[in-house]
Structure 1
Amino acid sequence: MSDDLPVLGHRLRDMDDRVLRHPADRAASAALRSVPGLMAVARKLIELGYERALRQNLLASSVRLSAQQLPDVFDLHRSAYTILEIPRTPELYVAEHPVGNALTIGSQDPLVLVHSRLLDQLDADQLRVVFAHEAGHVLADHVLYGTVLEILMEMGGGALSRTLPTALPLMAVRNALLEWKRAAELTCDRIAALVVRDPILVCRTLMSVTAGTAGRKLDLGAFLAQADDYGQQSRGLTGRWRRLTLELNATHPLSVHRAHELMAWVRSGDYERIRDGDYPRRSEAEDPDVKAEAKAAADYYRERFEGAVRDVAGQAESATKNVADWLQKTLGGDGPR
Structure 2
Amino acid sequence: MQKLVFFIVAVLLLVSFCHDANGFSGSTPTIPRVAFQNLQENEFRHPLDRDLTKLILATPGNKLADQVFRRAFPLLEQGARLDLLSSSVKVSAEQLPHLHESMVEACRVLDISSPPELFVQSNPQANAYTTASSKGEKAVIVITSALLDRCSDREMQAIIGHELGHMKCNHSFYLTVGGLASAPLRLLPFAGDSLADSLLEKWRLAAEYTCDRAAVLVAQDSEIVASAMLKLFAGTGKYGMNVEAFVAQSEEYDRLLRNSNPMVRASIENQQRTHPLPVRRIAELKRWSESEEYTKLLKNGVMIS
TM-score, scaled relative to structure 2 = 0.73
1:198 CA displacement: 0.5
Matches within 5 A, 1:170-189: 176-189=199-212
Match of 1:320 in 2: none
Q: 1:130 to 1:22 in 2, by over 3 A?
A: same
Q: 1:84 to 1:217 in 2, by over 3 A?
A: same
Kept in 1: contact 2:62–2:178 (CA 8 A): no
Which structure: larger Rg? 2
1:73 CA displacement: 1.3
1:270 CA displacement: 2.4
* Equivalent of residue 166 in structure 2, options 126, 133, 137: 137
Kept in 1: contact 2:62–2:177 (CA 8 A): no
CA offsets per residue over residues 59-82 of structure 1, 9 Å max, x none?
A: 433221111111111111111111
* Corresponding letter in the other structure for 1:24: L
Match of 1:225 in 2: 248
Q: 1:100 to 1:245 in 2, by over 3 A?
A: same
CA distance in structure 1 between the partners assigned to 2:178 and 2:92 by the alignment: 27
Q: 1:149 to 1:65 in 2, by over 3 A?
A: farther
Which is worse superposed, 49-58 or 185-194? 49-58
Unaligned runs of 5+ in 1: 1-5, 152-169, 279-337
Kept in 2: contact 1:110–1:143 (CA 8 A): no
Alignment of 1:128 onto 2:154:
no
Kept in 2: contact 1:96–1:117 (CA 8 A): yes
CA distance in structure 2 between the partners assigned to 1:235 and 1:87 by the alignment: 42
CA distance in structure 1 between the partners assigned to 2:279 and 2:226 by the alignment: 9
* Corresponding letter in the other structure for 2:230: M
CA offsets per residue over residues 76-112 of structure 1, 9 Å max, x none?
A: 1111111222111111011112221111102132111
1:271 CA displacement: 2.0
* Corresponding letter in the other structure for 1:85: D
* Equivalent of residue 24 in structure 1, options 45, 48, 52: 48
CA distance in structure 1 between the partners assigned to 2:178 and 2:100 by the alignment: 26
RMSD of aligned C-alpha atoms? 3.1
* Equivalent of residue 245 in structure 1, options 252, 266, 270: 270
CA offsets per residue over residues 185-212 of structure 1, 9 Å max, x none?
A: 1111112112211112111111111111
CA offsets per residue over residues 31-66 of structure 1, 9 Å max, x none?
A: 332443255335414413334334434443322111
CA distance in structure 2 between the partners assigned to 1:99 and 1:114 by the alignment: 10
Matches within 5 A, 1:113-124: 113-124=142-153
Q: 1:149 to 1:38 in 2, by over 3 A?
A: closer
Kept in 1: contact 2:178–2:200 (CA 8 A): yes
Equivalent residue of 2:123, what SS? coil
CA distance in structure 1 between the partners assigned to 2:241 and 2:69 by the alignment: 43
* Corresponding letter in the other structure for 2:164: A
Matches within 5 A, 1:95-174: 95-107=121-133, 108-145=137-174
Q: 1:44 to 1:134 in 2, by over 3 A?
A: same
* Corresponding letter in the other structure for 1:127: M
Equivalent residue of 2:271, what SS? helix
1:223 CA displacement: 0.2
Kept in 2: contact 1:106–1:147 (CA 8 A): no
* Equivalent of residue 64 in structure 2, options 35, 40, 46: 40
Matches within 5 A, 1:67-86: 67-86=93-112
Match of 1:53 in 2: 79
Q: 1:99 to 1:149 in 2, by over 3 A?
A: farther
CA distance in structure 1 between the partners assigned to 2:103 and 2:263 by the alignment: 40
* Corresponding letter in the other structure for 1:97: N
Q: 1:35 to 1:113 in 2, by over 3 A?
A: same
Match of 1:266 in 2: 289
TM-score, scaled relative to structure 1 = 0.67
